[in-house]
Structure 1
Amino acid sequence: MPLRSSARLLAWLFALLLAGCASQGPRPTGMDSPIADLSSIDSVQQRLDIARQLLAQERTEDAEVALSVIQFDQLSIAEQTDYAELRAELALQRNDGQEALNWLVGDTAYLYDGLPMQRQIDLRLKRAEAYELVGEYLAAARERIFLAPQLDGDVAQNNRDRIWSALQRVPEEQLRTLIAAESSPDLTGWLELALITRENVDDVRQQLLAITNWINTHRNHPAAQNLPGDLALLRELANRQPQNIAVLVPLSGPLEKAGRAIRSGLLAAWYEARTNGRETPAITFFDTALNDDVYNVYKQAVFEGADLVIGPLDKNRVQRLQSQAALTVPVLALNYGDDRQSAPENFYQFGLAPEDEAIQVADQAWQEGNRRAMVLAPNSDWGRKVSDAFIQRWERQGGRITSRSLFTQPDQYLYTVKRALNIDDSEQRERNIARLTERDVVFEPRRRQDIDLIFMVAFPPQARQLKPILNYQYATAIPVMGTSHLYAGTLNRERDEDLNGVQFVEMPWKLHQSELENSVEQAFNEEFSGYETLIALGVDAYQLHPRLVQLQRFPTARVYGETGILRLDPSRRIHRELTWATITEGVAQASNGPLPSTEPRF
């Protein structure tokens, strides 16, 4: 290396390290940053080394600048390999799984053939992480399972934890399909173990028995020798299940129908468990509408022997229990209190928060490569709350909101959409040209071109009008995504054809007619039209009650419920991950996610 270049590189790296010590966050790339002197570095390898140092400090913006001045097609094979790996690492630090996969399994994948074993291991770990980011959890698990024999120590344990975490997110249908087709004993064993966790969700003892049988038939399997922590906890949980549950819901007054819907779902799950020979607790219902102070109802339930309380439902009563310094018996509230207020350690919150859905849509849209989003939402507190959740998540990931338009009355929908797409500006230009030329002008309005995605927050009557307007206003090619609220939940081809192509998240209860759902209709002679989601909430409250401690101790643990895949955050709030669906020919078609098409490369 020439002396001058060596001196420049040493000075560059010294400034780089000083900058890294001075600040933990990304630095600006202005003239006062050492990145501005990169053009003076002659050697490509030096530039790659600088980018590697920047990524080690998680200075993604500076690393992007360092890599952007390098011409990939002018590099040697070794330099291209380094460059591709650095690009993948940069994408992972930006949580852009698809971009990482483009460099790890795309046209550049051949570069990694023949690399030293440790470097191939590092690349496969990156590939697994990228698959996790894009939601291809089965592909991620396969990568890690085939890689596992090469690992040891803490890295091996972390890899096992990530295998289990990924398999918790794989749809049950995919697990069953792969078990029937797979020949690898290790992979098949993992899949069978994951499938056990989907069965007997509300009966810890039955699940523990199934896991014991699995261990006896898979004694040499890695998971049998080191059982995932949330499963190892089952023996302890089996000995401390609630025997008497008190349910605090309104059974009279303005919220009577909501309370009865929850009661019907909870009892349907209880009856199903009892019919199948599972252990079931005693359940007592308390009408919260009869007492203004829900804490008094709680104390009465505890006095009568309750060792778990489910409810209350309305937010004010939830906040009343949340405000207590301590609770003698755990509570699973059926709504969310004030997230700015602390809560007792045994106070859990579970509801149907639309913000979870908006965040899930934002994450999926980002991983699909969209970066510029237009938002359509009702001009209401609820519409602003849901759209705000999407916008905050979107911008936190680095996305841009091109516009947010709030609609009101149906006769204003066309104007709202035109303004959001800048069609009104285009039409004004037409009028100006016609006025200046004093001639009839052949003119086709043009929408704005800086929109990758439309996030639509709407209820079915609104969505069925907005989507055709979007199509008519030249936005047919723009993907439209939304929350579950745009789908009515019942088959109506004629009306829902207007929603063709719309992608949305929905709870499994409304996409798949289950035996439990049929039993609700048969067992309870009550009309719950419009309250179906609360029936599912009641079902999942029963499914959750034996699992609260498990979810609290192991953040990667999941419960597959009727309202979605359920997890618990550190504040003991339950979050839902819903199923993706698309309207096709007027019918909501659930998506189970892609199956991996090839074996992982090594």
Structure 2
Amino acid sequence: MRLKHYHFILLFSLLSACSTTEKVQIYKKPEIKTQKKVQQKTYTASELYNNARIKRGADKIQLLYLSRDKALIEENWQLLESICTDLISSQKSDNVQNTLYLSLSLYQQDLYSNALSLLDKLNDKLTSPNHYYWHQLVSGKIYAKQELTLQAVPYFFRASETAQQHGIDATGLNQKLWNELTKLPSETLEKINSGSSIQQGWINLALYSQLYIGDPVSLHSAMNNWQRRYPKHPASFALPEKMKNLMAIEPYLLKKLVVILPEEGKNKRIGLAVKNGILAASEINNHAEIHFINSFDSVEKMNSKIKQIKPDFIIGPLLKANIDKIKESEILANYPSIFLNNSSEQNHSLEHYFFALSPEHELTQAINHFLAKKYKKPLLLAPQNKSGQRLIKSFLEQWQLYSTTQPEVGFYADKKDMQNQVKRLLEVDESKKRINKIKLLFRDKVKNETRSRRDIDVIYLIGDAIQTRLLKPYFDVNISTFSEKIPLYASSKSHSLQVDKTEKRDLAGLYFTEIPWMLPQGHTQPELRALFDQLWPQQGDLQQRLFAMGYDAVKLIPQLRQLSTLSGKTVQGLTGLLSINDQGQIHRQLQWARYYRKSIKTQNLKEIKPTPLFLQPTDNTD
């Protein structure tokens, strides 16, 4: 977003050039001559800077300051960097002020690490409130640009408090702070609801907006109470506009619903699973009139049916190929829709949403947890197929954004190859070779025990339920008994309600992510679960997950606009804690769980969005 230069000038004194006027001559005749106006030349920042470079002393400094302020107005960030560098090296200027301007220019050029490094050096030199405000504002913007909201808001809070105390114009900051707070879920807002009156005012305003969005009467009452509690608060200037925007968000009224699913061929069973979830949710939540359309129909036939029905909302298709086909024909261009998968094309509609049971969400959760626990060297093991390779690649791409350590990676071709890969990755084979060499040196029997490598501190398994049950014991027996136990994690692919009916002992200690619907203690609809088990006792794991997906798709419809407006707002569903990003993608946060000898128990594991590598402080120690 382009930054308005007015919000960056910190009330420093500005130098100005003198203007000249032409004298007016009066003749004897009573004739009035109009004065000729002289157009004063307006110099660009580049021209002023070039003139400064050929000057010396005070003239040079004066022109550098003029070119600096002009570059700020023109938003010529590269030139601003050069000017500020020259001013700092001159040692005849306010180096704190110019370093702040320099950090701004670096931020605008996406040189975030360099900008932060400069700002860190100023921490003990910020004696002016204007300087401190500027320092906190730019620091917060750097973290916000990386979507590190929790790191950004403390800087914004301190800038807001400084602006309030010293009468600094903080219009740009206020809007930015509000945007960041709306990204945080209500649970996080409640945890940080402390500190100064300014901070609590901001947080409570964000909380009220989330809690009462879609309920105009309660929202109006809450906002009035907020105004009485926080008079003259920095957020007050935009309060009427916020209320107007939030109250204008009306939920979708669902009377007619069209659902596009496969009703024939090899995908008929998975289409039926989604259909059962949609029917169950409609029966419980809204009793909408539902019309099902076969996704195998021609585009023309589907279009004709939709025009005839005139639905309020559309769910589907389920298969990515069908989504692309329908989007190309623009059948759904004028209808709000939830596509039950991702699309190959970019979303250009504010009323189109994408709901996919994507395993990549689980990888992100695992990485956020690993880095929160300060694990440094993961070991990844996956099947040698397209899915395994895709997920490993996704994990590595995400991991390398936050760590310089390269994870250890292995692929197994089949069941027989599993043990070999485990021994290779843990370097147990190398230990055995060393033992055999020592045995050859001694005639007497040598007491020995193999050693596994000690730099691996966490293991992540990618595989289905049967593969995971074979792999877990191999790690148990090949990790040295005198080494620290390495925690093992897996994705939801490792969990199966059908396979879990047998003994769980082999998986004891394994952590995994799963949708709440598939967990004994995690689902929020126990009565629905009991009814499902009674009606469809033989449903497979995939069918159960798709049932939950269909159910959540209907449940989300009345709240889609609210979730889209406030990215921090979440809804608990059968498939996880649901939110929507700015691309209309429905994001799932799954539940952590752990295997015990005879049971599975849900876990609350720590997750924090990590700081990108280029923003992390460098270690200068030898």
Check whether TM > 0.5. yes
Equivalent position to 2:272, from 237, 251, 260: 260
2:603 is the counterpart of 1:590: yes
* Counterpart code for 1:286: I
How far does residue 307 in structure 1 lie from its aligned partner after superposition?
3.1
2:585 is the counterpart of 1:573: yes
How far does residue 247 in structure 1 lie from its aligned partner after superposition?
1.0
User: What is the CA deviation profile of residues 2-43 of structure 1, one whole-angstrom value per residue up to 9, with x for unaligned ones?
Assistant: xxxxxxxxxxxxxxxxxx969x9xxxxxxxxxxxxxxxxxxx
| Alignment CA distance shift 1:62-1:284 (3 Å) | closer
SS in structure 1 of the partner of residue 293 of structure 2: strand
> Could you say which residue in structure 1 is the equivalent of 2:536?
526
User: What is the CA deviation profile of residues 219-240 of structure 1, one whole-angstrom value per residue up to 9, with x for unaligned ones?
Assistant: 3356787469998545333276
How far does residue 465 in structure 1 lie from its aligned partner after superposition?
3.2
Contact 2:137 2:173 survives alignment (8 Å): no
> Could you say which residue in structure 2 is the equivalent of 1:323?
328
State the distance in 1 between where 2:263 and 2:529 align. Answer: 18
Equivalent position to 1:333, from 330, 333, 339: 339
How far does residue 379 in structure 1 lie from its aligned partner after superposition?
2.0
2:290 is the counterpart of 1:283: yes
State the distance in 2 between where 1:537 and 1:182 align. Answer: 41
> Could you say which residue in structure 2 is the equivalent of 1:296?
301
How far does residue 305 in structure 1 lie from its aligned partner after superposition?
1.4
What are the residue-to-residue correspondences of 1:166-565 with 2, within 5 Å?
166-168=184-186, 170=187, 187=200, 190=203, 194=207, 197=210, 205=214, 207-220=215-228, 221=230, 226=238, 233-238=245-250, 241-251=253-263, 253-274=265-286, 281-288=288-295, 291-293=296-298, 296-325=301-330, 327-338=333-344, 341-342=345-346, 345=349, 347-435=352-440, 437=442, 440-474=445-479, 477-488=485-496, 495-511=503-519, 512-514=521-523, 516-519=525-528, 521-522=530-531, 525-527=535-537, 528-530=539-541, 531-550=543-562, 558-565=570-577
Equivalent position to 2:171, from 153, 156, 169: 153
State the distance in 2 between where 1:269 and 1:195 align. Answer: 28
How far does residue 246 in structure 1 lie from its aligned partner after superposition?
0.4
User: What is the CA deviation profile of residues 371-394 of structure 1, one whole-angstrom value per residue up to 9, with x for unaligned ones?
Assistant: 332211122222222222111111
| Alignment CA distance shift 1:285-1:208 (3 Å) | farther
State the distance in 2 between where 1:258 and 1:163 align. Answer: 39
Contact 2:274 2:550 survives alignment (8 Å): yes
How far does residue 594 in structure 1 lie from its aligned partner after superposition?
9.0
How far does residue 334 in structure 1 lie from its aligned partner after superposition?
0.6
How far does residue 492 in structure 1 lie from its aligned partner after superposition?
5.8
SS in structure 1 of the partner of residue 353 of structure 2: strand
State the distance in 1 between where 2:553 and 2:172 align. Answer: 36
SS in structure 2 of the partner of residue 237 of structure 1: coil
State the distance in 2 between where 1:365 and 1:131 align. Answer: 22
State the distance in 2 between where 1:438 and 1:295 align. Answer: 85
* Counterpart code for 1:587: I
User: What is the CA deviation profile of residues 494-539 of structure 1, one whole-angstrom value per residue up to 9, with x for unaligned ones?
Assistant: 8444444433333333445555352354378233341222122112
Contact 1:583 1:589 survives alignment (8 Å): no
State the distance in 2 between where 1:563 and 1:231 align. Answer: 32
State the distance in 1 between where 2:605 and 2:410 align. Answer: 32
| Alignment CA distance shift 1:493-1:212 (3 Å) | farther
| Alignment CA distance shift 1:401-1:299 (3 Å) | farther
Contact 2:129 2:162 survives alignment (8 Å): no
SS in structure 1 of the partner of residue 486 of structure 2: coil
> Could you say which residue in structure 2 is the equivalent of 1:105?
none
How far does residue 322 in structure 1 lie from its aligned partner after superposition?
2.9
State the distance in 1 between where 2:391 and 2:192 align. Answer: 37
- Any stretches of 5+ residues in structure 2 without a counterpart? 1-76, 82-94, 164-169, 609-622
| Alignment CA distance shift 1:509-1:330 (3 Å) | same
State the distance in 2 between where 1:468 and 1:55 align. Answer: 52
How far does residue 156 in structure 1 lie from its aligned partner after superposition?
2.6
User: What is the CA deviation profile of residues 149-188 of structure 1, one whole-angstrom value per residue up to 9, with x for unaligned ones?
Assistant: 44432223322332332235x37xx95x999x99989749
| Alignment CA distance shift 1:116-1:410 (3 Å) | farther
* Counterpart code for 2:218: A
Larger Rg: 2
State the distance in 2 between where 1:444 and 1:131 align. Answer: 51
The alignment's TM-score, normalised by the length of structure 1, stands at 0.66
The alignment's TM-score, normalised by the length of structure 2, stands at 0.64
Contact 2:251 2:558 survives alignment (8 Å): no
SS in structure 1 of the partner of residue 475 of structure 2: helix
What is the RMSD of the two structures over their aligned residues, measured on CA atoms? 4.8
How far does residue 354 in structure 1 lie from its aligned partner after superposition?
0.6
Q: For this pair of structures, how many residues does the alignment match?
A: 492
State which drifts further: 311-320 or 472-481.
Answer: 472-481
User: What is the CA deviation profile of residues 280-339 of structure 1, one whole-angstrom value per residue up to 9, with x for unaligned ones?
Assistant: 643222343xx343663254123211132101112322221133356232332111232x
Contact 1:219 1:225 survives alignment (8 Å): no
Contact 1:218 1:224 survives alignment (8 Å): no
| Alignment CA distance shift 1:592-1:225 (3 Å) | farther
State the distance in 1 between where 2:495 and 2:590 align. Answer: 13
Contact 1:454 1:478 survives alignment (8 Å): yes
Contact 1:294 1:321 survives alignment (8 Å): yes
State the distance in 2 between where 1:59 and 1:113 align. Answer: 22
SS in structure 1 of the partner of residue 249 of structure 2: helix
Contact 2:181 2:206 survives alignment (8 Å): no
Contact 2:372 2:606 survives alignment (8 Å): no
Overall identity of the aligned pairs, in %? 21
State the distance in 2 between where 1:434 and 1:565 align. Answer: 57
State the distance in 1 between where 2:504 and 2:148 align. Answer: 28
State the distance in 1 between where 2:352 and 2:147 align. Answer: 33
> Could you say which residue in structure 1 is the equivalent of 2:181?
163
| Alignment CA distance shift 1:118-1:374 (3 Å) | farther
| Alignment CA distance shift 1:232-1:285 (3 Å) | farther
How far does residue 367 in structure 1 lie from its aligned partner after superposition?
3.9
> Could you say which residue in structure 2 is the equivalent of 1:70?
none
State the distance in 1 between where 2:249 and 2:330 align. Answer: 26
SS in structure 2 of the partner of residue 418 of structure 1: helix
Contact 1:167 1:191 survives alignment (8 Å): no
State the distance in 2 between where 1:432 and 1:445 align. Answer: 13
SS in structure 2 of the partner of residue 406 of structure 1: strand
How far does residue 252 in structure 1 lie from its aligned partner after superposition?
5.1
User: What is the CA deviation profile of residues 469-516 of structure 1, one whole-angstrom value per residue up to 9, with x for unaligned ones?
Assistant: 223222763333332222336996984444444333333334455553
Contact 1:500 1:583 survives alignment (8 Å): yes
User: What is the CA deviation profile of residues 319-373 of structure 1, one whole-angstrom value per residue up to 9, with x for unaligned ones?
Assistant: 21133356232332111232xx356635432110111211232233234333332
| Alignment CA distance shift 1:61-1:136 (3 Å) | closer
